[in-house]
Amino acid sequence: MWSLRQRAILGGLIWAGIAIAIGGVALFYFFDTLTQRRFDEALLDRYIQVVSALGNSGGEPELVESFLNDPAYQRPYSGRYWQITGADDTAVASRSLFDSLLPDHSDASAEVQFWTGTGPQSLVRGAYGLVSLEDGADWVVNVAESLSALELERQRIRQSLLTTFALIGALGVAGTILQTSAILRPLNKLREDVAHRWDRDEFLEPRDYPEEVAPLVTDINTLLERNREIVERGRRQAADLAHALKTPSAILRNELNALAECNVDVNNARSALDRVDAQLQRSLARTRAANSGASAQRQTELRTSVERLARLFRSMHDRAAKTLRFEFAPDLRVPMDMQDIEEILGNILENAFHWAKATVQLTAGRTEQEVWIRIEDDGPGIPEVDRREALRSGGRLDTSAPGTGIGLAIVADLAQAYGGAIALDASDTLGGLSVLISIPSAQGLGISG
């Protein structure tokens, strides 16, 4: 669907185009008519000049030329002509006609009439009329001029109009874009403010927006407040459920330990309880992440979480001999809840320490679009054909090793809850497994599991 900006600009351009087209046609017609009228007025003036010259010559057409000072009448085929025809059809013409004559008009009357026809070398427009002198002689006076001058003037006017309309069109397009941008600026500001103030856990101020948008801002504030309440309620419920299930699970595990001390085989029961605990852990993580993912204002300092986990793994006897190296900006922050990012890092690091020979490496960084975290080890890695299975809940590639096989599945669920992703690959640096986590830098509303 087209954006409001695109619709407004397109609509403005269409209406501007229609207005310019109609105005252009009207102006072309107006100026064509105007130039035609001016041409006819000039033609009528020359007709009167020839009539005056005929009168001044005493009715002698041969002397008319001496009373006309226009040099165009002397130059052959100049495009400007006159001709006087007597009652006996004898004609006296300007030198510009050379060896040709203008059309005869036997229907001439005292009222001047205009005509258009073929001249000596091109189309001409003329004016003719019947002139009666004091001696009673009647003469038909006919003047004409080439239409090329009229067409040239029309072309110049049309070219000027086209240039003017092109400039008006360009200004109209620029004006439409600027006006549309100005009109939509409050909506763009609202969109940015909703995302940023949601990140900062702030409300919008309706007075900062036009009165047409202010009611929407109030509704958005109400929506933000309700969404925050839902998020917090969901997190509390997930925490309450975890606490409520932890005690029965611990009781069952203690009972199994007691039975084991009595030489009762409880391996299958312990395995089943481990799977139950793991599935409960994953479900609670997904529930918590679904609510946390909507709370994009939560930012966690990565170094604090990594250092805490590093101390934990170094304190574990079977992992003390292995090295954890990490490299990223000290002030790098991840747009996730601390509990969620530490659960992601903890699951990945636990796998990495389990399979690594000596070294685990963590690097991280930020781009304009996302925050990325890469954890690598120098262990055997995972073949490409098995990587999809490793991300599946319960997918265990080595059933001889302890575990439930849902660690990476929990990581994938948490990453997706924040709009991110997990990718498994071979480590170019250490040769083992490389796990890449990417989380969008700006999430705002609507990112949840």
For 328-386, the pLDDT digits (tens) are: 999 999 988 888 888 899 989 988 998 899 999 999 999 988 999 999 999 998 898 88
pLDDT of residue 200: 61
- In angstroms, the CA 133 to CA 141 distance is 12
43: region left, alpha or beta (phi > 0 left; psi from -120 to 50 alpha) = alpha
Average pLDDT over residues 175-192: 80
pTM of the model: 0.47
Select the more confidently predicted residue: 279 or 210.
Answer: 210
For 13-32, the pLDDT digits (tens) are: 888 888 888 888 888 889 88
pLDDT higher than threshold 80 for residue 424: yes
pLDDT of residue 301: 92
pLDDT of residue 400: 43
Average pLDDT over residues 120-146: 89
Residue 281, phi then psi, degrees to nearest 5: -60, -45
pLDDT higher than threshold 90 for residue 437: yes
Residues 313 and 375 sit within 8 Å (Cβ to Cβ): no
Residue 118, phi then psi, degrees to nearest 5: -90, 130
pLDDT of residue 379: 92
pLDDT band at 406 (very low <50, low <70, confident <90, very high): low
Above pLDDT 90, what percent of the chain? 23
At residue 80, the 3 state secondary structure works out as strand
pLDDT band at 432 (very low <50, low <70, confident <90, very high): very high
Cross-sheet strand order for the sheet of 359-366: 323-327, 359-366, 370-377, 433-440, 421-426
Place of tokens 């109400």: 222
Average pLDDT over residues 315-321: 70
CA angle 30, 36, 40 (to 5 degrees): 145
- For the chain, the average pLDDT equals 82
Tell me the sheet residues that pair with 435. Answer: 375, 424
Residues in the chain: 449
Q: What does DSSP assign to residue 104?
A: P
SS3 content of the chain, % helix, strand, coil (to 5): 55, 15, 30
Least confident segment among 177-191, 229-243, 276-290: 276-290
Tokens found for residue 442: 């700006």
Residues 174 and 124 sit within 8 Å (Cβ to Cβ): no
Q: Please, what are the domains in the chain?
A: 4-153 (3.30.450), 226-440 (3.30.565.10)
Above pLDDT 70, what percent of the chain? 86
Determine the residue type at 223: L
Average pLDDT over residues 109-128: 90
Tokens found for residue 90: 């004898």
Candidates 415, 411, 416, 436; CA nearest to 426 is 436
pLDDT band at 181 (very low <50, low <70, confident <90, very high): confident
CA 199 distance to own-chain centroid: 25
For 213-253, the pLDDT digits (tens) are: 788 878 888 887 787 777 777 767 766 776 677 777 778 87
Q: What does DSSP assign to residue 324?
A: E
Place of tokens 């590093």: 310
pLDDT band at 260 (very low <50, low <70, confident <90, very high): confident
